[in-house]
Amino acid sequence: MKMYRILAIVRRHSLLTFRRFDRILNIVYWPFLNIVLWGVTSEWMQQQSSLPLIVPMILSGLVLWQIVFRVNLETAKGLLEELLNHNVVNIFSTPLTLFEWVLGTMILGAINMVLVMSTCSLALWLFYGINIFALGWSIIPFMISLLISGWSIGFLICGFLINWGLKAQDFVFTIGWLFAPFSAIYYPISVLPSIGRTIGRFLPMSYVFESMRSLLETGTFPPRFMMISFFLNFLYFSLSLFFFWSMFEHSKTKGLARLDG
């Protein structure tokens, strides 16, 4: 493993992003717009209800969900970019190993998380006077857990992309949202129907959002929930990497050149 090759992947995709205004805007625009729209909506909901914490709960959930979605999007888009530019063979015919490419992509996802969190937390503070970092040190395990969830979903999508090529490109923008209804982002998992609760209990994200609500309501951090979240995360992360590696090896036997065709 060579660090300079890992950093080369980070530099390549960073230049592709930060040299184009539309891509920078995409990182900032959608999270910012979501904060504004959901902020107005949740303030109206609070006026109509007796729940004093509905605004910080909804908006904190929205900000933390951006980590999962944006990291999985950035992870999968790294490979999609190579497919669209017919560059898969060029990338993997160099001394760059798959492991190095994975690490470079993970670093890009972490950078994206920092940018999105900065944008969202600034919007929360400017428009609604909410400081998400008032959650204290607890926000660090929340962010780490959701970062791993984003990587897991991203490499799952990469497995489909490396096997099916551009036929699977729609998965980049859709698969992440499949988990949203069961992740208890804006509401307790208890309000879901029975099948929804069952699915939610197997998602590491749901334990983070339940922990966040518990912290806002009672001021106590539930370590058991986070232990379950990290256990599930490391399990799914390992499985998603194995799936991506298996699909990569399978695709190599069929010929990576077909993906550039």
> What digits encode the pLDDT tens for the residues 121-143?
888 888 888 888 888 888 999 99
Q: Which of 72, 66, 84, 79 is nearest to 132 (CA)?
A: 66
Q: ∠13-19-23 over CA atoms, to 5°?
A: 75
Contacts of 55 (CB under 8 A, 6+ apart): 39, 42, 43, 46, 128, 130
Does residue 221 contact residue 215 with C-beta atoms inside 8 Å? yes
Given a cut of 70, is residue 24 above it in pLDDT?
no
Instruction: State the chain's mean pLDDT as an integer.
Output: 86
How many independent structural domains does the chain possess? Answer: 1
Q: Which domain, by its residues, includes 160?
A: 3-260
Task: Report the C-alpha gap between 179 and 96 in whole angstroms.
Answer: 32
Place of tokens 């090529």: 165
Handedness of CA 22, 25, 26, 29 (dihedral sign): negative
Does residue 152 contact residue 240 with C-beta atoms inside 8 Å? yes
Does residue 115 contact residue 27 with C-beta atoms inside 8 Å? yes
Does residue 121 contact residue 114 with C-beta atoms inside 8 Å? no
pLDDT tens-digit profile of 42-71? 666 666 566 667 778 888 888 999 999 999
Confidence of residue 19 (pLDDT cuts 50, 70, 90): low
Please report which helix (H) or strand (E) contains residue 34, including its range: helix 21-48
Does residue 169 contact residue 161 with C-beta atoms inside 8 Å? yes
pLDDT (mean) for 177-186: 90
Q: Which of 146, 181, 119 is nearest to 65 (CA)?
A: 146
pLDDT confidence of residue 101:
93
pLDDT tens-digit profile of 184-227? 888 889 888 999 999 999 999 999 999 999 998 888 888 999 99
Task: Report the C-alpha gap between 240 and 253 in whole angstroms.
Answer: 20
Given a cut of 70, is residue 41 above it in pLDDT?
no
pLDDT tens-digit profile of 92-108? 888 889 999 999 999 99
Neighbours of 56 (CB within 10 A): 22
pLDDT confidence of residue 72:
94
Confidence of residue 260 (pLDDT cuts 50, 70, 90): low
The whole model's pTM is what?
Answer: 0.88
pLDDT confidence of residue 22:
62
Task: Report the C-alpha gap between 42 and 39 in whole angstroms.
Answer: 5
Does residue 69 contact residue 79 with C-beta atoms inside 8 Å? no
pLDDT (mean) for 165-185: 90
Given a cut of 60, is residue 232 above it in pLDDT?
yes
Given a cut of 80, is residue 112 above it in pLDDT?
yes
- For the chain, give the percent of residues with pLDDT over 70: 85
Handedness of CA 18, 153, 253, 4 (dihedral sign): positive
